[in-house]
Amino acid sequence: MNKVYKVKGGILPPAILPLSGKHYILPWWIEVDSTVTLDDVQWTPDVFENKREDIQTFQSKSSPGISYTVRRVNGKLQCECPGYKYRNAQCKHVKAVQQNV
């Protein structure tokens, strides 16, 4: 039975790379025996929290019944309006929130 290698971190799963007669667990560059397989690697990936906080909702002036919400997602203001997507985060809703903060 092979040794179990515990690796932690990253968002991509581990891989085993043979290079110049040696074998490594990537992306950690841990040198291992040539008999080691991925079954011998226990990986704990990084966990990222997607923190979302609703800040303000705006009613559309051009389309009655439609509203757009500005949220803070992982510290950054984002809006769900079409202008936010087309203007690279510079819509009037985000600007209004920034002026009132």
Asked if residue 58 and residue 95 are part of one domain, the reply reads: yes
Asked if residue 39 and residue 13 are part of one domain, the reply reads: yes
What global pTM score does this model have?
0.49
93 and 58 in contact (C-beta within 8 Å)? yes
What is the distance between the alpha carbons of residues 34 and 31, in angstroms, rounded to a whole number?
9
Domain enclosing residue 93, as ranges = 52-100
Beta-carbon contacts of residue 56 (< 8 Å; ≥ 6 apart): 69, 70, 93, 96, 97, 100
What is the predicted pLDDT for the residue at 32? 96
What is the distance between the alpha carbons of residues 68 and 76, in angstroms, rounded to a whole number?
16
Structure tokens at 63: 């389309």
Asked if residue 92 and residue 56 are part of one domain, the reply reads: yes
What is the predicted pLDDT for the residue at 1? 61
Over its length of 101 residues, how does the chain's per-residue pLDDT go in tens digits? 679 999 998 888 999 999 999 999 999 999 999 999 999 999 998 877 767 788 899 998 888 899 999 998 878 899 999 989 887 778 999 999 998 85
